[in-house]
Amino acid sequence: MNFNYPNGKRYKPKDHPPESKTKNMKNSSYSNRGMTLEEDLNETNEFYRARKIAVIHKKPTPVQIVQVDYPSRSAAVIKEAYFKIASTTDYNGVYKGKYIDFEAKETQNPTSFPLKNFHQHQIQHMEEVIEHGGICFVILRFTKFEQVYLLEAKHLLMYWERMMSGGRKSITKEEIEEKGHRIPLGFQPRIDYIKVIERL
């Protein structure tokens, strides 16, 4: 099935590890279960909701279906679809009366986080959330080390501005370690980012 962005550009899904590798990873300890960042965050958000700590959800991406095949009467296969609008950030919700909005990204690069992982409309959205007093940040995972950081949006915007002014096109791991907040991987919740927000 083909997905296309509103500008017509083709959507390329993230690569997933081979099935056998995923199975082996899931059989290892809870600290390295082969879970994607999205799966870990969804688990964490369900933990928060069930215990009435916060209500955070992944935003659905609106899709317009343009071509459907019916190989049989009881089945329909979507062959082509378009994202209706450019997405903003991945997650939003409320915690202690405060609006929370964040994006989650992971990279296999061991030394820096490429800014190409973000889009101009996402940056603009984060600026608007901050302007209205919301809590806005990004959760970044270095998959090579299984390390997760919370980086406040104000810092991401600073590095984005540096790139737009002709500077480097990534944030170094050292910069993330300095400005960000390491989130140790746990069991329940898996990625306890609320604990970081409480400190902030």
CATH code for position 146: 3.40.1350.10
In a domain, 68, yes or no: no
Say if 15 falls within a structural domain: no
Specify if 48 maps to a domain: yes
Nearest in space to 87 (alpha carbons), one of 129, 119, 135: 119
- The residue ranges of the chain whose pLDDT is under 50 are 15-33
Whether the Cβ atoms of residue 54 and residue 92 lie closer than 8 Å to each other = no
Does residue 108 belong to any structural domain of this protein? yes
CA distances from 163 to 1, 42, 118, 158, 169 (A): 35, 31, 12, 9, 5
In a domain, 79, yes or no: no
* 136 within domain boundaries: yes
d(CA 81, CA 31): 37
In a domain, 90, yes or no: yes
Tally of domains in the chain: 1
Within a domain: residue 186? yes
Residue 14: predicted pLDDT: 52
pLDDT value, residue 91: 93
Per-residue pLDDT of 18-51, as tens digits, reads 444 443 433 333 344 456 899 999 999 999 999 9
The per-residue pLDDT for 28 is 34
* Global confidence as pTM: 0.72
**138: part of which helix (H) or strand (E)?**
strand 135-142
Query: Which pLDDT value is given to residue 82?
Result: 61
pLDDT of residue 75: 78
Q: Domain range spanning residue 109?
A: 36-60+86-199
Give CA–CA dist 102/146, Å, rounded.
Answer: 20
